[in-house]
Structure 1
């Protein structure tokens, strides 16, 4: 499928992507195989260790 926000007129919504962080499982703004964007684990103020790893 792919991220619908990459299509003309689409707005960015990470929930529309199918990629997940391999460390915390969060839905991220990247399709599978692409680097995970900066994000925080839910309930934490620290950056997740999965940043930059390929999304699942």
Structure 2
């Protein structure tokens, strides 16, 4: 019997939700929204926002 492997959060939909949120953050940043506004809007730290907008995914 073969066990299925799942990405963390894949079965509950959490992974997909965060992928969409991260893409929205990247899009906003590319369109001129500054990091301070993204921090306030999404409730994330500066470090988290930086990781999202500068990641290659």
Larger Rg: 2
Higher helix share: 2
Where relative contact order (Cα < 8 A, 6+ residues apart) is larger, the structure is 1
Considering the TM-score relative to the shorter chain, is it more than 0.5?
no
User: TM-score, with normalisation over the residues of structure 1?
Assistant: 0.27
User: TM-score, with normalisation over the residues of structure 2?
Assistant: 0.26
